[in-house]
Amino acid sequence: MQDKYQSRRDFLKKMALTGSMATLAASPWLSVFGQNSMAGQKPSDRVRLAVIGTGGRGKQLMRHLFELKASNNVEIAALCDVYEPHLQEAAKMCSEQDIKPVLYRDYTDLLNKEKVDGVIIATPLHQHAHIAIDCMKVGIDVFCEKSMARTLDSTKAMYDAHIETGKILQIGHQRLFNPVYLEGMNRIHEGDLGQLGQLRAYWHRNNDWRRPVPDETVAMDRFINWRLYKEYSAGLLTELMSHQIQVANWAIQKTPVAVTGTGSIVFWKDGREVNDNVALIYSYDDGTQFIYDSMTSNKKYGLEEQIMGHKGTIEFETNRYYTETPPPAPGIIQMINDMESGFFGKAMIGGASWMPETAATYNGEPIIEDTDFYDTGLQLEGFASYIRAGRAPEALTREGYNASIWTLLGEAAIETGERLTLPEKYII
């Protein structure tokens, strides 16, 4: 990561070189990147952060913070986790970076004792809401991993706390900071794909999704493998699909009006409660559909979001754009024009364009050429910048909220077998 990490400055330079400044203009959450003096190096400019939840994702976010802490004048002031091994592993990582954060086992102690500007919440899903709300209520800005919260009500409560306190609530949808998505979305919104009809997305893996458990107790299994139990997670929906419905909403620039779905435990019948096989259809008021499926017993098709319009298709995960109509060969347009205008002139079409068969078939075109950006790092740079600026673009919070709400409504649609619309009280 050291060699490949590209900061917001590289990112801005790249976007400018590729003529993508329109993309920046269309993405208000990136405007802060354009402010030259945003990361002052004085101690008083330093952004003090705490990381709450230092498991796998929390440690991954910390690695990004290590990369950007100097250039962004960010300090990791405290770490918190209820699980001692994770806390100690994170502390060791910091020690290797000559960072000495204060360690906490209870986040309320952290809030009482530390004066931090922002927290990064990477706990299991069911703990997001109360921690985020408590942080915002004591004046701390929040970066929270997706999905926002475990229930519709707790998701709304998080959003309400953000509105009431005026504190930043940024949800970790890193694709919002990914140049491939930014450029692709700009093309979609400029009409390059024409009228969108269907958006399809899938996330297929072939593993049991279990993490090793230190002992054989049920309690520890539920603690470590929280993603498999409904009390803590909606499984594939909150952990995977929430990313992709955010992409769909972003592409369509709307939120759905209804969802239907089905799900089952078809393969991993090992005591888990969440489905290992789901399929949903989200409908939008303009007639577009977002068709989703996810499973954990086949990985052939992997991960993709396909945005399909009448002029073209974008596949984001593989950075491809496909036109529905490749340019006609020379002379063809002239002949068509002649045919439609009643003119009978010679068609200058014949030419020695014989091409050898090669390995290349039409594989579309890249949306952008250079994809060596770490969107997760960029979104953390954004978080530090928003804290320093005192506010974050509201669009960022709304993207996270709507993705989370509709993910959870998808879960309800699967469980009830009904076509569900969003209750008025959750509409923002």
Distance of alpha carbon 141 from alpha carbon 3, whole angstroms: 31
Give residues with Cβ within 8 angstroms of 11, minimum separation 6: 33, 179, 373, 378
Binding mask 323-342 for other proteins (x = CB under 8 A): --xxxxxxxx--xxxxxxxx
Residue 357, classified by CB atoms within 10 Å of its CB into exposed (0-12), middle (13-18) or buried (19+), is exposed
> How many residues in the chain?
428
Ranges within 345-404 binding other proteins (CB under 8 A): 345-362
Least Å from the CB of residue 280 to other proteins: 29
Distance of alpha carbon 79 from alpha carbon 101, whole angstroms: 6
Which of residues 260 and 323 has its CB atom nearest to other proteins in the complex?
323
What are the φ/ψ torsions at residue 80 (nearest 5 degrees)?
-145, 135
Which of residues 218 and 352 has its CB atom nearest to other proteins in the complex?
352
Single out the segment in contact with other proteins by CB under 8 A; choices: 48-56, 62-70, 152-160, 344-352: 344-352
Tell me: does residue 194 bind other proteins (CB under 8 A): no
Which of residues 331 and 366 has its CB atom nearest to other proteins in the complex?
331
Torsion angle, CA of 368/372/373/374, rounded to 10 degrees?
140
Kindly determine how many residues on this chain lie close enough to bind other proteins according to the rule CB under 8 A. 36
Least Å from the CB of residue 323 to other proteins: 9
Which of residues 96 and 340 has its CB atom nearest to other proteins in the complex?
340
Token digits for 404?
């989370």
Which of residues 44 and 353 has its CB atom nearest to other proteins in the complex?
353
Distance of alpha carbon 212 from alpha carbon 194, whole angstroms: 48
Least Å from the CB of residue 81 to other proteins: 48
Single out the segment in contact with other proteins by CB under 8 A; choices: 104-112, 139-147, 279-287, 321-329: 321-329
Give residues with Cβ within 8 angstroms of 205, minimum separation 6: 295, 296, 299
Least Å from the CB of residue 133 to other proteins: 53
Least Å from the CB of residue 337 to other proteins: 7
The residue within the footprint of other proteins, chosen from 40, 190, 197, 343 (CB under 8 A), is 343
Which of residues 19 and 342 has its CB atom nearest to other proteins in the complex?
342
Q: Which helix (H) or strand (E) holds 307?
A: strand 303-309
Least Å from the CB of residue 362 to other proteins: 3
Single out the segment in contact with other proteins by CB under 8 A; choices: 140-148, 191-199, 322-330, 378-386: 322-330
What are the φ/ψ torsions at residue 198 (nearest 5 degrees)?
-130, 145
Binding mask 79-108 for other proteins (x = CB under 8 A): ------------------------------
Residue 84, classified by CB atoms within 10 Å of its CB into exposed (0-12), middle (13-18) or buried (19+), is exposed
Distance of alpha carbon 389 from alpha carbon 386, whole angstroms: 5
224 neighbors 260 (Cβ within 8 angstroms): no
Which of residues 63 and 364 has its CB atom nearest to other proteins in the complex?
364
Which of residues 311 and 398 has its CB atom nearest to other proteins in the complex?
311
Binding site for other proteins (CB under 8 A): 325-332, 335-362
